[in-house]
Amino acid sequence: MDSERIKRLERVIGHELHRNPSGLGEFELISRLRKAGWPEFERTYPTDFLGLFKRHFLLFHILFRLRDRYRQEQVGELAIGALRIVLEPYCSGTEAIATSDPLREYYLDFSQLTSTSEKEVLVLLDGFRGRLDADGEKGSALALMGLSEPVEYAAIKHRYRQLAMRHHPDRGGDQVRLQDLNHAMGVLSRYYHQ
């Protein structure tokens, strides 16, 4: 895929995220891209693991590019998770929270898309299933807050306060989103609090 096509796809995805302030799930976003005529997101058979991987990888490659760009331009903070992708207002100090992000590094390495074999995808899926059983709750809570491993408890508390203030109903925020954040903070407190 050439760089101009990736830039056009970035604009389309960015537009979808701006149009849906409560966020979109990965499946819903891929469905919208398919309906908009992007052949890279055409349906594959559920057993076509390599095809599924390529769709997922391309989407997340573009999402991490957008997140970097939005941070740099101070447009917003893109929280990226498989269940929810949401563009939130920019918070100054977000850069200080960011630490080494292996997921970001993986998805921004475009060679992963072209060099990964179906056998490697199956190994990745097996590893993911094992980790999901071990810390799926923790990973989901971090993703909801727009954070990823490794992260310090102080950074989690700081990010929670930022998001809780933004989403508090007394400030025009969303009660459901605040409840989700409170639940996520409870989960993360169990894992990180000394």
The domain locations on the chain are: 3-192
Type of residue found at 41: F
Type of residue found at 19: R
Main-chain dihedrals φ then ψ at residue 80, nearest 5 degrees: -115, 120
Instruction: For residues 132 and 21, give the distance between their C-alpha atoms in angstroms, rounded to a whole number.
Output: 28
Instruction: For residues 173 and 176, give the distance between their C-alpha atoms in angstroms, rounded to a whole number.
Output: 9
Per-residue pLDDT tens digits of the chain, which is 194 residues long: 889 999 999 999 999 999 998 899 898 999 999 999 999 998 877 678 899 899 999 999 999 999 999 999 998 899 998 788 999 888 766 554 555 788 899 999 999 999 999 899 888 877 765 555 455 678 888 888 888 888 889 999 999 999 999 888 888 887 878 888 888 888 888 777 65
CB atoms within 10 A of CB 116: 16
DSSP symbol at 88: E
Task: Look up the pTM and report it.
Answer: 0.65
- Contact predicate 163/145, CB 8 Å: yes
Which segments of the chain does DSSP mark as H helices, in order?
A: 3-19, 26-35, 49-73, 94-97, 102-108, 111-115, 118-144, 153-167, 175-192
**Chain centroid offset of residue 90 CA:** 16
